[in-house]
Structure 1
Amino acid sequence: MLGATWAVLMPLFTAAVYTFVFSKVFQARWPGMSDGPFDFAVICLTGMVVHTIFAEAVARAPALVLGNASYVTKVVFPLEILPVVTVLTALVNAGIGIAIVLIGNLLLNGKIYFTVLMLPLVIAPYLLFVIGLVFFFAAAGVYLRDLSQLVSLLITVTLFLTPIFFPIEAIPESFRRAILLNPLTFVVQQARDVTIFGRWPDFVGLTIYSVAALAALACGFWIFQRLRNGFADVL
C-alpha cells in the first residue's frame, strides 16, 4: 500500500518542484501553451514519465546479475528474462504517471485526445531500446563493479539534455542537432504530441527509430550472451 502511494506521489512531487524551478525561476515558456503552472506541469510530467522508464531500468541494470547470483551459480535459469522484467516493471510505474497526465490534461483542456491510443506505438520501440541498454549494463556490471556510478551520471545528464523542462525551440540552432541525436528526445516529443497536443505521431520517424531500437536490442543481447559465460567465474 505504501509503495503504491509513493509511486503516485513521487512523480507529482518531482514535477511540482521542477515546474516551480523552470516556469517561475527560469521563466521557461512552451509554444502554444498558456503561461499557467499547471499546463507546464503536465508537459513536464509527460517528459519525466518517459525518462523514468529509462532511469529506473538502467539504474538497476549494473546490479541486476550481481543481485541474482544464485540464478547464475546454482540454478539453470534464463537470465535473458531479467532485463525484460526490469523494463516492464519500470513501465508499470510509468503507467501511473501517464494516468496522472491524462487526468491533468482532461481537467485543463476538458478532453482526452483520441491520438492517445497511439502512445503504445510510440513507447514500444523505446522499450526495445531500453531493454538493449539493460542487457549491456547488466553484463558489464558483473565485471565493472563501479559501473553504477557512471550510470547514475548518465541518468542525470540525459535528464537535462532531453527537452523535458524546456522546448526544443529554446535550444540554439548550433546545439539543437546534438539534442535531437539523444535517443530520448524523439520519444518525449512524440509522447507529448499524442497525449497533450492531440497530434498524430511521426510514422516515418517511428519507423526509423524502431529499426535503430532493434539494432540496439540485438547489440545489447549479443554482448550479454558473449559475456555471460564468465558470470559464474566472476561471481
Structure 2
Amino acid sequence: MAHLYRVLAGNLDLAIVLTKREVVGRYRGSFMGLLWSFLYPLLMLAVYTFVFSVVFQARWPSGQGTRIEFALVLFTGLMVFSVFSECVNRSPGLVLNNVNYVKKVVFPLEILPVVSMLSALFHLAVTMLVWFGFHLVYFGLPPVTAVLFPLVVLPLVLFTLGISWLLASLGVYLRDVGQVVGVGTTVLLFMSPIFYSIESLPEAYRPLLRANPLTIVIEQARDVLIWGRWIDFGEWSVMLALSAAFAYLGYAWFQATRKGFADVL
C-alpha cells in the first residue's frame, strides 16, 4: 500500500492529464461536446420518470408512494451502479488498449484503472447536478445528510479499483474476460436493489441480495440523499475495511503479473 501511495502521489499530475484527455476524447467530434455529459443523464432521468411513473405507475414502498419519487429513487441507484459498471466493463481492455505504454516507454501502468475511476467520478459529479436539480424542482432542497454522499461512495471506489486492477491484468492473459465481465455486470444490475427494494423480496432471498457488495452502497446512498438518514457507521466501517483489503489484493495481483505483459502483448 505504501508503494501504491508513492505511485499515485508521484503521478497525480499525469493521472489528471490522462483523465482530462479521456473525458474530452469521449465527446471529441460531436457538436455538443462536453455538454453531452450533462444532457445524457438528464435525458435518461426523463425516460425513467416517464416509463416508471406513467407506463408502469410504480411506487417505492418505503417512501411517500409518488411516481416522481420512484423515478428519483431508481435514478439514485443507477447513479451509484454506473460508477462500478463503467470502470469494471472497461478494465479488461485497459492494458490491451495501451500496448505502447507497455512496450515502448517506462509508464506507471497501475494508474490506468485510477484514470478510469477519475473519469467515472467526473461523470458521477455531473449526474449529481442533474439529480440535485430534479430534487430541487419536485421536493425542494435535499436533506442535510446529502453531504455524506462522498463518504458513502468511498468504499465503492476502493472496491471497484481492486476489481479493475485484477481484471486489467487478467484481460491481458485471458481475452475472454471482457465478454464474461459484460454479462456479469448485467446480471449484477438486476441482482442489486436498483429497480426494487429489499423489502419487496421474500425473506429467504434477502441474505443473497445483501451479500452483493453494491447493496450496502446503494441503500446508504438513498438513505443520505433521499430519506435523510445518517450512515450506519458500523456497517460502513466494515465495508470500508473489506474494500480497502480488496483494493490491496487487486493491486498486489496486478504488480505480481505485470512482468509478463510485454511478452504476451
Answer whether TM exceeds 0.5 for this pair.
yes
C-alpha deviation, 1:191, in angstroms: 0.7
In 1, Cα distance between the equivalents of 2:192 and 2:259?
Answer: 36
C-alpha deviation, 1:121, in angstroms: 0.8
In 1, Cα distance between the equivalents of 2:33 and 2:79?
Answer: 17
In 1, Cα distance between the equivalents of 2:51 and 2:194?
Answer: 13
Over 3 Å counting, the alpha-carbon distance change for 1:20 and 1:156 in structure 2 is farther
TM-score, with normalisation over the residues of structure 1? 0.94
| 2:128 paired residue number | 98
1:41 aligns with 2:71: yes
In 1, Cα distance between the equivalents of 2:200 and 2:58?
Answer: 9
In 2, Cα distance between the equivalents of 1:116 and 1:34?
Answer: 18
| 1:172 paired residue number | 202
Over 3 Å counting, the alpha-carbon distance change for 1:186 and 1:3 in structure 2 is farther
C-alpha deviation, 1:10, in angstroms: 2.5
In 2, Cα distance between the equivalents of 1:193 and 1:154?
Answer: 27
2:200 aligned partner, one-letter code = A
| 2:139 paired residue number | 109
TM-score, with normalisation over the residues of structure 2? 0.83
C-alpha deviation, 1:86, in angstroms: 0.6
2:218 aligned partner, one-letter code = V
Q: 1:5-20 maps to which residues of 2 (within 5 A)?
A: 5-20=35-50
In 1, Cα distance between the equivalents of 2:144 and 2:65?
Answer: 25
| 1:53 paired residue number | 83
In 2, Cα distance between the equivalents of 1:23 and 1:70?
Answer: 49
1:131 aligned partner, one-letter code = L
1:62 aligns with 2:92: yes
| 2:160 paired residue number | 130
Comparing 147-156 and 6-15, the one that deviates more? 6-15
Residues 45 and 97 of structure 1 are in contact (CA less than 8 Å); yes or no, is this contact kept in structure 2? no
| 1:199 paired residue number | 229
1:222 aligned partner, one-letter code = A
In 2, Cα distance between the equivalents of 1:82 and 1:140?
Answer: 14
| 2:174 paired residue number | 144
Name stretches of at least 5 consecutive residues in structure 2 with no aligned partner.
Answer: 1-30
Name stretches of at least 5 consecutive residues in structure 1 with no aligned partner.
Answer: none
1:234 aligned partner, one-letter code = V
Comparing 98-107 and 131-140, the one that deviates more? 98-107
% identical equivalent positions: 46
| 2:238 paired residue number | 208
1:103 aligned partner, one-letter code = G
- Greater RCO, CA 8 A, separation 6+: 1
| 1:30 paired residue number | 60
The count of residues paired between Structure 1 and Structure 2 equals 235
C-alpha deviation, 1:159, in angstroms: 1.0
Q: CA RMSD in A?
A: 1.7
Residues 60 and 66 of structure 2 are in contact (CA less than 8 Å); yes or no, is this contact kept in structure 1? no
- Partner SS for 2:158: helix
